[in-house]
Amino acid sequence: MDNEKTKRVLMLANHIFSTHDTIRKTAKIFSLSKSTVHNDLSKRLYKLDKVLYLRVQKILDENFREKHIRGGKATRKKYLGLAKEKRCLPSKCDEKER
């Protein structure tokens, strides 16, 4: 593995370890694809630093277990925002309410 990839892998791993961010958020911060971040953290990091790999995997497993909760919160927030903007949906409203 070349020096640039090694630096990137360690930088991503240290970021996840310090912030507990998700793969998606980390990819966005570093302008990389989710696949690249995932491969770096699951395959390349193991070859470089097994201790850091285990620490990062623990965080990623935790994020994976909480994924459905975050998704539900996002959906709830989305629809609460919709309810505040529009008091009713067009199909459910009278003409007076529109």
Domain spans of the chain, in order of start: 3-92
Q: Which residues contact 43 (CB under 8 A, 6 or more apart)?
A: none
How do residues 26-65 score in pLDDT, each as one tens digit?
Answer: 999 999 999 999 999 999 999 999 999 999 999 999 988 8
Place 1 in a pLDDT band, splitting at 50, 70 and 90: confident
Q: How many CA atoms lie within 13 A of 67 on its CB side?
A: 10
d(CA 67, CA 52) in angstroms, rounded, equals 22
pTM of the model: 0.71
Positive or negative torsion for Cα 69, 71, 77, 83: negative
